Structure 1
Amino acid sequence: MTSMEDTRAGAVVEQTYRRLSDALRRGVYPVGGRLPGERDLAMTLGVSRSTLRLALGRLAEENRLERSSQRGWFVRRNVVGEPPSTLQSFSEMARSRGLRPQSTVLHCRARPAAFEEARQLAIAPASRVLELRRLRSLDGVPVCVDSSVVVLALAPGLAEVDLTDRSLYETLEQDYGLRIAHSSYTVHAAAADEATAELLDIEPGDPVLIGEELTYSDDGSPVLTGRMVYRSDAYRFQADLFRPVRA
């Protein structure tokens, strides 16, 4: 290929990139949505598939698109995650990134604590707890299935509070004077079961990240246990790690 042909080919890639970039900016392809197949998209744009792939690759390098080897190209979702060493609620984390948090209550009831829950929360077996399960979304896109078990002795009446779009941490702090101080938090990878996949708008077996927490007030009392199942393409966990100083 001559230098002139190289220049022309580069110009076509640049034009294709700009057209796709503009389409993403205008929301032609929604966040989390799949683009048309490469053959159809190339025909629509009037370019070769090799040219199209170069333009798509540039957008992927900019973290605006992502590719699944089996399912094609997708518009990348906003990725959320806790800042290193900072404990935030889902709502606080979303707002700090300029996103709109939303919740749908899937299940909310007061019940006796199970034995393992009572052990973790340092309460007597069968003490009353609130079991709360919500689907959490960002700008209308489902991101997380969030389950919490709260000690009701610390927050009497919480079962009657509408927690549809309220931060649980902020409700405990503002309504009950409980200052959430720290959390023991672990994360592991898993595959989405059918029920979770349907809620998160992913395929059964797709990867998810599961965060499990035990959260304490400032006096060291356990307040709640939580289990958050995140889409793996929408969540990132960060942490500060320190190497011990050797003598």
Structure 2
Amino acid sequence: MGDMNEGVGRASGGRLRPPGPTTRRIPAEWVSSRPRAERARQLADVLRQRITAGAFPCGVLPDERLLGTQLGASRNAVREALGLLRDEGLITRRRGVGTTVTTSKYGHGLDRLAGLAETLNGHGTVTNEVRVAEVVTDPPPAITERLELPAGTAVLHLERLRRLDGRPLSLDTSHLPAEVGRGVLRGDLTGRDVFALIEETTGCLLGRAEVTVHAVTADPDTAALLEIPVGAAVFAIERLTRLSDGRPVDVESLRIRADRMALHTTLHRERPFLAG
């Protein structure tokens, strides 16, 4: 005869122990061994890439349920990912309106030597506020060294606040040899790229540039000029541009709003070396 209390355990001392809770089946797609924060971060990466690529041309994202279906994720994970993008300032979320892209990100290719106005042609009007334009007779040694000039050689110091459709996009600082810079000063610094002015002044095409990109936070002065919060993410680009004959002609330091610009390039893998 079977035990009347089958399925009911016995605690020490012979006392009956109540049965455990009934096991509930959870759909496999709702379960992940990865921490929830990690899943949210990865979903945010996917959504950020789609926003940058222009996947939502009207600027409005689908609701959480539809995004979850498209991305194979739970609604809670999607909600957390959208929260991360909202904290970045990339999107806004309002009841009755939904999730909208705050501002479009524009692509700036790193595999082509081009000025900002040239890069953003067709995306809006680029204007330049000239903040500094002066020939410096005693520049920092680090500048003359990079320009391969004798110490104490005069250079042009140029700083411009660049706007796209009236909104700040970047703060650009350049140092050029004075013999080139004086010709650049005669050009239209408010409406044209420095690269084009350099080529006109020298009669020589630009050849190549050495570029380093850093991720930094905005200091108070940069934040005020770019109209972003202090500590916001900024791309810091250091670039040394050379003429086609190899002469260094422009040492630049650029601070670009990371919420308005995405840097991209196309990389090619070289044929691997095979030992003979």
Q: Distance in 2 between matches of 1:184 and 1:71?
A: 30
Q: Distance in 2 between matches of 1:177 and 1:69?
A: 44
- Number of equivalences: 194
Q: In the superposition, relative to structure 1, how do residues 53 and 98 fare at CA in structure 2: closer, same or farther (>3 Å)?
A: closer
Q: 2:135 aligns with which of 110, 115, 121?
A: 110
Tell me if the contact between 1:118 and 1:126 (Cα under 8 Å) persists in the aligned partners.
yes
Q: Distance in 2 between matches of 1:181 and 1:137?
A: 26
Q: Say which SS state the counterpart of residue 86 (structure 1) adopts.
A: coil
Q: Find the counterpart in structure 2 of residue 136 from structure 1.
A: 162
Q: Distance in 1 between matches of 2:232 and 2:187?
A: 34
Q: Find the counterpart in structure 1 of residue 45 from structure 2.
A: none
Aligned AA for 1:111? V
Q: Say which SS state the counterpart of residue 81 (structure 1) adopts.
A: strand
Q: Say which SS state the counterpart of residue 108 (structure 2) adopts.
A: coil
Q: Distance in 1 between matches of 2:164 and 2:254?
A: 15
Report how far residue 240 of structure 1 moved: 3.1
Q: Find the counterpart in structure 2 of residue 170 from structure 1.
A: 196
Asked whether 1:229 is paired with 2:266, we answer no
CA shift digits 1:119-162 (9 cap, x unpaired)? 11011111111101111111111110000001122344434444
- Taking structure 2 as the reference length, the TM-score comes to 0.62
Asked whether 1:67 is paired with 2:93, we answer no
Tell me if the contact between 1:148 and 1:224 (Cα under 8 Å) persists in the aligned partners.
yes
CA shift digits 1:76-114 (9 cap, x unpaired)? 32323333521111111111x432111101111100332
Q: 2:223 aligns with which of 197, 204, 227?
A: 197
Report how far residue 172 of structure 1 moved: 1.2
Q: Find the counterpart in structure 2 of residue 188 from structure 1.
A: 214
Tell me if the contact between 1:155 and 1:176 (Cα under 8 Å) persists in the aligned partners.
no
CA shift digits 1:188-226 (9 cap, x unpaired)? 100001111111111000110100000000000000100
Q: Distance in 2 between matches of 1:231 and 1:223?
A: 25
Structure 1 runs (4+) greater than 6 angstroms displaced: 69-72
Q: Distance in 1 between matches of 2:192 and 2:251?
A: 18
* Structure number with larger C-alpha Rg: 2
CA shift digits 1:152-181 (9 cap, x unpaired)? 223444344441222101111123313111
Aligned AA for 2:273? R
Q: Distance in 1 between matches of 2:254 and 2:167?
A: 16
Give the unaligned 5+ runs of structure 2.
1-56, 69-77, 79-84, 93-99
Q: Say which SS state the counterpart of residue 68 (structure 1) adopts.
A: helix
Asked whether 1:179 is paired with 2:205, we answer yes
Report how far residue 53 of structure 1 moved: 6.4
- Taking structure 1 as the reference length, the TM-score comes to 0.69
Tell me if the contact between 2:184 and 2:194 (Cα under 8 Å) persists in the aligned partners.
no
Summarize the alignment of residues 72-91 of structure 1 with structure 2, pairs less than 5 Å apart.
Answer: 73=92, 75-91=101-117
* C-alpha RMSD over aligned residues: 3.1
Q: Distance in 1 between matches of 2:239 and 2:216?
A: 17
- Identity, in percent, stands at 26
Q: Distance in 1 between matches of 2:193 and 2:90?
A: 35
